[in-house]
Amino acid sequence: TTKVGVVTCGGLCPGLNDVIRAIVLELNTHYGVRDVVGFQHGYAGLVPENGHAVVPLTPASVARINERGGTVLGSSRGAQDPSVIVDRLVELGIDILLVIGGDGSMRGAHNIGLEIAARGLQIGIVGVPKTIDNDIPHIGQSFGFSTAFAKAAESIKAARVEVEAAVGGVGIVKVMGRHAGFIACYAALANHDADFVLIPEVGFSLDGDNGLLNLLAQRVKDKGSAVIVLAEGAGQDLIPADDRTDASGNAVLGDIARFLRDEIGKDFANRSQPLTMRYFNPGYAIRSVPADASDSVYCARLAQTAVHAAMAGRTDMVVGRRRHRFVNVPIPFVTSGSHSVSPDGDLWLSVLESTAQPFAMR
Ligand code: F6P
């Protein structure tokens, strides 16, 4: 009989529990596979010395988990030694490992696949790629993205209400997305409440006639208020280098929101223009919610596709939807290269139209 393991890795994302649930139901209903187990807290759960339990996953235990955000298995970031993981898979008699995780986790999955192949074992490894950032190459849209940006759009709406009531109201809404501006763009387009959208893919300047500061001051004069939607990875080149490295010297995202708030504060003071700044950071809230109806269905279909692929003997691949079709993609395709908002693409052009007067593009 077949034994299947499931693991969720990396940051949270709406729909993780939907994927787990649909994997278990599909395996039981269509393939009669009853022996399904979950590993806790990402790959760390496959390393025995960490002491995490291996949890049986049954149709009863996963029945309504989709109604909750997060992952019932827990998660963690970080790779583990592939040879330790493969030892554990062999010890537990796992035939298939299903990994729900981001690009780092998929790189980890590929390395586990290499180790399996090197040992001549017959263990399948299939991924369901996950990120709220929506930046997976070759995949049309990542699951949970739509739920996440809808949640971010609520903060933009709240910012609009706040700044319209204030004198010289400027709202800054910082959203996640790491090196991609998809969340910022889609959330801004969802309700057309943004005046400026700043994303990592498009550089901007602060100073000069067409710099952000001048355009912002003008906009507030003309309209009474303005809302800036700020992707956390935007404007990194403007931040002093020291603020973009951690204590060990590794590159990290600098706090562009703090930087902009300071610069805007100084600039409005110089102009003697009244300013009421409101800062919103929906942060983790956008990824901890349960999947909406559409994402929920999408998650179930991705999970079914992953189960079919794995049960058909495929390995070292991930599933995704591309041009309305569910597809199998080799892991290296989704872990190399990047997928980002194209400054010439329809998405960015729509953002420019919706914000009417965006900012100077260098
Ligand atoms: O990659 C997903 C993501 O949510 C990014 O948008 C964000 O920068 C990052 O994870 C946050 O990571 P962590 O969970 O480690 O704080």
Q: How far is the CA of 322 from the centre of ligand 1 (A)?
A: 24
Checking DSSP bridges between strand 54-56 and strand 96-101, what pairing results, if any? unpaired
ipTM above 0.90, yes or no: yes
User: Is the pLDDT score of 297 beyond 90?
Assistant: yes
Q: Which residue has the CA at smallest separation from atom 15 of ligand 1?
A: 11
User: Is the pLDDT score of 247 beyond 80?
Assistant: yes
Predicted local distance difference test score (pLDDT) of residue 357: 57
User: Is the pLDDT score of 362 beyond 70?
Assistant: no
In short, whether 267's Cβ falls inside 6 Å of ligand 1 is: no
User: Each residue of 63-119: pLDDT tens digit?
Assistant: 999 999 999 999 999 999 999 999 999 999 999 999 999 999 999 999 999 999 999
In short, whether 131's Cβ falls inside 6 Å of ligand 1 is: yes
> How many Å apart are CA 160 and CA 61, to the nearest integer?
43
Residue % of the chain over a pLDDT of 90: 91
In short, whether 278's Cβ falls inside 6 Å of ligand 1 is: no
133 is an active site residue? yes
In short, whether 179's Cβ falls inside 6 Å of ligand 1 is: no
pTM of the model: 0.96
3-state secondary structure of 8: strand
User: Each residue of 305-358: pLDDT tens digit?
Assistant: 999 999 999 999 999 999 899 999 999 999 988 889 999 899 999 998 888 655
Please list, in sequence order, all residues whose beta carbon lies within 8 angstroms of the beta carbon of residue 350, skipping any fewer than 6 positions away.
185, 189
Instruction: Give backbone dihedrals phi and psi of 226, rounded to 5 degrees, phi first.
Output: -155, 150
The average confidence (pLDDT) of the chain is 95
Catalytic residue among 95, 133, 267, 295: 133
What b/e readout covers 137-172, taking b as 16+ CB neighbours within 10 angstroms? Answer: bebebbbbbbbbbbbbbbbbebbbebbeebebbbbb
User: Each residue of 207-216: pLDDT tens digit?
Assistant: 999 899 999 9
Predicted local distance difference test score (pLDDT) of residue 336: 86
Please list, in sequence order, all residues whose beta carbon lies within 8 angstroms of the beta carbon of residue 349, skipping any fewer than 6 positions away.
none
Checking DSSP bridges between strand 35-39 and strand 54-56, what pairing results, if any? antiparallel
End-to-end C-alpha distance for the chain, whole angstroms: 60
Q: Which atom of ligand 1 is nearest to the CA of 11?
A: 14
In short, whether 108's Cβ falls inside 6 Å of ligand 1 is: no
Pocket test for ligand 1, best of 8, 76, 145, 176 (most atoms within 8 A of CB): 176
Q: Which atom of ligand 1 is nearest to the CA of 132?
A: 2
Predicted local distance difference test score (pLDDT) of residue 192: 84
Q: Which residue has the CA at smallest separation from atom 10 of ligand 1?
A: 11
Pocket test for ligand 1, best of 9, 13, 105, 132 (most atoms within 8 A of CB): 132
User: Each residue of 219-228: pLDDT tens digit?
Assistant: 999 999 999 9
Compute the half-sphere exposure of residue 259: CA atoms within 13 Å on the CB side of its CA.
20
> Predicted confidence band at 359 (pLDDT cuts at 50, 70, 90)?
low
In short, whether 12's Cβ falls inside 6 Å of ligand 1 is: no
Predicted local distance difference test score (pLDDT) of residue 35: 98
Please list, in sequence order, all residues whose beta carbon lies within 8 angstroms of the beta carbon of residue 29, skipping any fewer than 6 positions away.
none
In short, whether 157's Cβ falls inside 6 Å of ligand 1 is: no
> Predicted confidence band at 360 (pLDDT cuts at 50, 70, 90)?
very low
In short, whether 358's Cβ falls inside 6 Å of ligand 1 is: no
User: Each residue of 226-235: pLDDT tens digit?
Assistant: 999 999 999 9
